Amino acid sequence: MKSKQFGGKLSSEWKERYAQSPQWQNGKFQNSIPTQTGVDWRKLPGMLCKQIKGHPQAIPKEALPLFDFEASEFLKSKEHFAYTWFGHSALALRMAGLNILIDPMLGQDASPIGPARTRRFSENSLEQIALLPDLDLVLISHDHYDHLDMESIQKLAPKVKHFVVALGLKRHLVAWGIDESRIDEMDWWNQKQIGPLELHFSPSRHFSGRGLSSMARCLWGGWVLKSSELSIWFSGDGGYGPHFKELGQRLGPFDLAFMECGQYSVDWPDIHMFPEESVQAAIDAGVKEAVPVHWAGFNLSYQHAWFEPMEDFIKHAENKKLNWRSPALGQIHSIGAPSTEWWHKHK
């Protein structure tokens, strides 16, 4: 029997919906420029050797501490902007009086169907869901396991008013018991008004899939959130490309951006950014303050130490005079607030 982890079945009805998108070509979603998303079989033996050997500092020596979520502090003012990073790409935002979660993968395993597990660096992540307030909005950028977690979704479901997700992802949530009326899908450059919040789904250079039969059958991208006071960008996963400058021209500048930075490798350079590319992407888009994400959660690359993405980002950001921040896991943070290099004590 097929595992529920794979999500919703790709029916002809779903395919007909996706075919209305300019991004859907030849039976799947496509990147806007040529992008190597699959394995180059000529490199496979070397990749396997590197993966088996691993990086000596790929995983922290001990579990990374995760502050318990403080809902009262998070909700203290209707006009207050705040965010909490739970590690990897999971974020809570308080913006324009709304409670928002982005890519809330709070589970303990990013490989729930694999023969080998990919354990989270922090131990109490799922318990944070019980501490969260009711949520106005959950945004999900694509359907990879490190961004879309069945257990997290099922635990979150009673708290969530509205899900807005990448085109193609609704079928997974429906398969897991979320009523279709609570879910909206968005294509690249789509805009939607959620109360006082203006929401846009921005392009990225990546791929998707929860199994061989569902590869590239869900779109991928980032989120732009605009209020009367602030403009926030979540880059989503993806390699460097010209879409960052286009985003800045269309929707920038941004007061704060959460930039993908981690799980990169020379073996898949098109689908994840190296730190210097992440810095340049932020500059291209007109970001005033950048928070690197997609690290400190899981070991998905044999290329780098678990803390290297942040340290390399700092080096390149300071060289190019880009403001950066790094909140501790679970800590409530705000724009411009000081952050410490908390990871040093956990190397």
Specify the CATH number for the domain of residue 280: 3.60.15.10
List, in sequence order, every residue forming a beta bridge with 163; answer none if it has no partner: 138, 183
In a domain, 200, yes or no: yes
Look at residue 341 and tell me if it is in a domain: no
State what percent of residues in the chain have pLDDT above 70.
95
- 117 is in which domain, residue-wise? 69-335
Kindly tell me if the per-residue pLDDT of 174 is higher than 80: yes
Average pLDDT, the chain: 94
Q: Is 227 part of any domain?
A: yes
Residue 45 confidence (pLDDT): 62
Residue 209: inside a domain, yes or no?
Answer: yes
Flag whether 6 is in a domain: no
65 pLDDT exceeds 60? Answer: yes
Domain total in the chain:
1
> Considering the domain boundaries, does residue 23 fall inside one?
no
Residue 243 has pLDDT above 60, yes or no: yes
Q: What is the pLDDT of residue 78?
A: 63
Residue 233 lies in a domain: yes
- Around 146, how many Cα atoms within 13 Å sit in the side-chain half-sphere? 23
Does residue 314 have a pLDDT over 60?
yes
- Residue that the structure tokens 């920038």 belong to: 252
Residue 196 lies in a domain: yes
Query: CA-to-CA distance for 208 and 215, rounded, in angstroms?
Result: 6
The model's pTM: 0.96
CA geometry: angle 257, 192, 33, nearest 5 deg: 60
CB 142: neighbour CB atoms within 10 A? 27
CA quadruple 282, 283, 285, 288: dihedral, nearest 10 = 80
